[in-house]
Structure 1
Amino acid sequence: MGTKSAFNWITLWASLLFVVILGFSRLSYGMFLPGIQRVIGGSYGQLGILGTVNFIGYLVGTLCLSPLISRFPDRKHVINRMTCFLLGLALIGSAFSDHFTELGLWRFAIGILSAFATVLVLSIAMDAVRPAERGAASGLIWLGGSAGILFTGLFAPFTIGSSHLQGWRYAWVAMGVFGVIAAFGFEFVTRKRGAGKIPSQTESKPRNKESETVYRLLLNPKRLLFLIASYFFFGWGYIIYFTYLIPYLVGKGIPSLYAGLIWSGIGFAGLFNGWIGGKVIDRWPSGYTLASGLTLGTIGVSGVITNNLLFTALGATIVGLVSFITPPLMTTALLRRHVPHHVYAASLSIATAFFASGQIIGPIVGGVVVERYGLQFGVASSAIFMAIAAALAGLYGQQQRKLEICDLPLSG
């Protein structure tokens, strides 16, 4: 089966799935926190722990997926099908939570399922795209997450407004139904075009040797270590921002409509980021490109320090435009370029595990800072870790350049 351009039915349905995988299942929690607190109770620090529980599930999922793919290399499409349908159902189930523990269990399950779905949907969709256009295709898929944030913010008055106590429940049910529909659509187009039947290239290689190859690539300071470390600190920084931004705005007395519009602004800007970032990484596949977006993102999240609504909103838009979707899509695209095809899914899974580890630490650290110094300083602390991620991405770009210089005599 021949490969396709970046724009095709498979990447379209993959993008719709990412509306659910990223925008709805993971980041909507931060948007709904004020409404959830009114119904279930607890401090923002305690509710932030449920964000950590979600990403513990995400880490467990990524760690389990790599050996699962190695054990069943030709069953990615089957695992993905079950995962995506269950993710939609788990969102619906979480809407009926009445207690802290109950919601925590649902968030844990959603974390596992979204980890599986993130890697598998990307892997299956990328197999169907021509190599030269995979950055653009990755951008198209990741912008689905931005669309999810955009729609979540538009309905803020009905989900976090004090007059709509149960609004977040109805929203999660609707999101879950959309997820089931998107899972059906992706399954239909991949089965119709045969994309689920990608021949495996792992059968001839011992699995322990494959695992050794993956870790040697990812943890080698002369190869991909700085990229993976940048991904880790990005996960740490961005999740603090997305968990506590809306509670900070609501705590300042900003109307839910305006808070929702700021949230939607991140998603709307991210729609452009997904496409532009994909095209840019195809043309300049470098750590320097990634570092540029993360540096601007650091400036964006620092907007809350000004204590000015306009600068906070502009900062949120910058985050959406250059550093929300950029790091995940660029990391996946760079990995696709620099690891062998037969270990790409395993490599992406392990890289995502580092990303998830950062997301686990982020809400804990953010919660401690919020409890001690307040929401404003808690949100602003994300800039520290975004800056570290930018510096590490720059080091990866420097390492890439050294490798290219070393390879010049070989190619000449």
Structure 2
Amino acid sequence: MGTRSALNWITLWASLLFVVILGFSRLSYGMFLPGIQREIGGSYGQLGILGTVNFIGYLVGTVCLSPLISRFPNRKPVINRITCLLLGLTLIGSAFSGHFTGLGLWRFAIGLLSAFATVLVLSIAMDAVRPEERGAASGLIWMGGSAGILVTGLFAPFTIDPSHLQGWRYAWVAMGVFGVIAASGFEFATRKRGTEKITIENESKPSGKESADAYRLLLSPNKLLFLIASYFFFGWGYIIYFTYLIPYLVGKGIPSLYAGLIWSGIGFAGLFNGWIGGKAIDRWPSGYTLASGLTLGTIGVSGVITDNTLFTVLGAAIIGLVSFITPPLMTTALLRRHVPHHTYAACLSIATAFFASGQIIGPFVGGIVVEQYGLQFGVASSSIFMAIAAALAGLYGQQQRKLRKSDLPISG
């Protein structure tokens, strides 16, 4: 069956899955931290370590996925349906955590499953979209993550207000149930449209050579290294911001309703960012496009430095509008455009591993900074790593320009 436009039932269900994969399973933790701390205990530094544990699971998942796909080339849809179903169930399970260690184990499992689901859902959905519209399709899918943030923020009065100690538990159960429903819908859409057949055909030539080719492309300074390094530092920077922003706002005495609305504002702005960013990378498939969003994001994060609520809110809106969803969707689209089709799954998996590595380091380093210098400086420190990511993306754009002038294809 042929490819189709960016807006179709497969990408719509994939976007709903990303509500769970990104907004619920990973970033809701930062929103729920104050409530979790009141019931389970521990300092913000210690609870930040659970964020690191989550992304260790995410890294393990990305590392394991490529050889798993190579070992079972015709089973990618099967692996995806099992993964997405288990992700919803583990969210439900984590709601029943009674102590620090148990929650850590659930966070590890959620990280591992969300890594599988991120790569598989994107790969399956992109196979069903016309090449010239894959940036827009990627934007639509990543918009689900923004929607997840928006919804999570609306839970704030019931999850971080001291009068609702169990609120974060009920929210995670509801999120898990939604995840099971979204997984079922994506499965129905892909079966109905014949995507399973497409995927099998596209993945029918696996070999160790694919991974070797992927590493050569991604780690070569003359090809994609600057893009991947930018993705790494973005993961490092943004996760600090999303882990400690709500604790910082609560610590300033901002009511839970307003803190939740700020969080939802990031998600609402991200809804526009996903679609606009996808269109932009289709029209200007360059590292400069990515660098622009990251630069504005650096400015947005820096709003925390002022210790002014208005500037913090404006900065959060900028983050949501131009640099929350933009880097992942643009990196995904650039890889899809500039690597051979047979190595795309391997390249995306490896790139995601670099992203995960940054997210592992971020909460750990952020927790140390918070313990030493306080929440304000801890949140603001994410701007350093966002700025590095922007500079590296700019270098990748410069490299693309040189390669075009010398007529050397980036996929070499």
When normalised by structure 1's length, the TM-score is 0.98
Aligned to 1:256: 256
Misfit runs of 4+, over 6 Å: none
- Asked if the contact 2:291–2:390 (Cα under 8 Å) also holds between the matched residues in 1, the reply is yes
Shift of 1:71: 1.4
Shift of 1:103: 0.1
Aligned to 2:383: 383
Q: Does 1:337 align with 2:337?
A: yes
Question: Aligned letter for 1:68?
Answer: L
Question: Aligned letter for 2:64?
Answer: C
In structure 2, how many angstroms separate the alpha carbons of the residues matched to 1:74 and 1:52? 33
Shift of 1:204: 4.7
Q: Does 1:158 align with 2:172?
A: no
Shift of 1:13: 0.1
Residue-by-residue CA offset, 1:96-133 (whole Å, 9 max, x unaligned): 00100000000000000000000000000000000000
Alpha-carbon distance change, 312 to 72 in structure 1, aligned in 2, over 3 angstroms: same
Question: Aligned letter for 1:394?
Answer: G
- Asked if the contact 2:230–2:392 (Cα under 8 Å) also holds between the matched residues in 1, the reply is yes
In structure 1, how many angstroms separate the alpha carbons of the residues matched to 2:171 and 2:7? 30
Moved more, 62-71 or 319-328: 62-71
Question: Aligned letter for 1:354?
Answer: F
Q: Does 1:86 align with 2:80?
A: no
Question: Aligned letter for 1:361?
Answer: I
Aligned to 2:405: 405
Question: Aligned letter for 2:191?
Answer: R
Question: Aligned letter for 1:67?
Answer: P
Aligned to 1:148: 148
- Asked if the contact 1:227–1:396 (Cα under 8 Å) also holds between the matched residues in 2, the reply is yes
- Asked if the contact 1:226–1:396 (Cα under 8 Å) also holds between the matched residues in 2, the reply is yes
Aligned to 1:189: 189
Q: Does 1:52 align with 2:52?
A: yes
Aligned to 2:208: 208
- Asked if the contact 1:63–1:350 (Cα under 8 Å) also holds between the matched residues in 2, the reply is yes
SS of the aligned residue for 2:164 comes to coil
User: 5+ residue gaps in structure 1?
Assistant: none
Question: Aligned letter for 1:362?
Answer: G
Shift of 1:200: 3.5
In structure 1, how many angstroms separate the alpha carbons of the residues matched to 2:408 and 2:83? 45
Residue-by-residue CA offset, 1:256-286 (whole Å, 9 max, x unaligned): 0110010001000000000000000000000
- Asked if the contact 1:94–1:172 (Cα under 8 Å) also holds between the matched residues in 2, the reply is yes
- Asked if the contact 2:74–2:203 (Cα under 8 Å) also holds between the matched residues in 1, the reply is no
Shift of 1:208: 2.3
In structure 2, how many angstroms separate the alpha carbons of the residues matched to 1:400 and 1:278? 19
In structure 2, how many angstroms separate the alpha carbons of the residues matched to 1:348 and 1:385? 22
Shift of 1:329: 0.1
Question: Aligned letter for 2:40?
Answer: I
User: 5+ residue gaps in structure 2?
Assistant: none
In structure 2, how many angstroms separate the alpha carbons of the residues matched to 1:393 and 1:204? 32
RMSD: 1.0
SS of the aligned residue for 1:407 comes to coil
Aligned to 2:356: 356
Residue-by-residue CA offset, 1:346-367 (whole Å, 9 max, x unaligned): 1100000000000000001000
Q: Does 1:311 align with 2:311?
A: yes
- Asked if the contact 1:200–1:342 (Cα under 8 Å) also holds between the matched residues in 2, the reply is no
In structure 2, how many angstroms separate the alpha carbons of the residues matched to 1:218 and 1:68? 20
In structure 2, how many angstroms separate the alpha carbons of the residues matched to 1:247 and 1:271? 24
In structure 1, how many angstroms separate the alpha carbons of the residues matched to 2:35 and 2:408? 58
Shift of 1:210: 1.5
Aligned to 1:297: 297
How many residue pairs match? The answer is: 408
Alpha-carbon distance change, 148 to 201 in structure 1, aligned in 2, over 3 angstroms: closer
Question: Aligned letter for 2:390?
Answer: A
SS of the aligned residue for 1:186 comes to helix
In structure 2, how many angstroms separate the alpha carbons of the residues matched to 1:181 and 1:98? 26
When normalised by structure 2's length, the TM-score is 0.98
Alpha-carbon distance change, 76 to 408 in structure 1, aligned in 2, over 3 angstroms: closer
Residue-by-residue CA offset, 1:339-393 (whole Å, 9 max, x unaligned): 1111111110000000000000000100000000000000000000000000000
- Asked if the contact 1:74–1:197 (Cα under 8 Å) also holds between the matched residues in 2, the reply is no
In structure 1, how many angstroms separate the alpha carbons of the residues matched to 2:262 and 2:204? 49
Aligned-pair identity in percent equals 88
Question: Aligned letter for 2:365?
Answer: V
- Asked if the contact 1:73–1:200 (Cα under 8 Å) also holds between the matched residues in 2, the reply is no
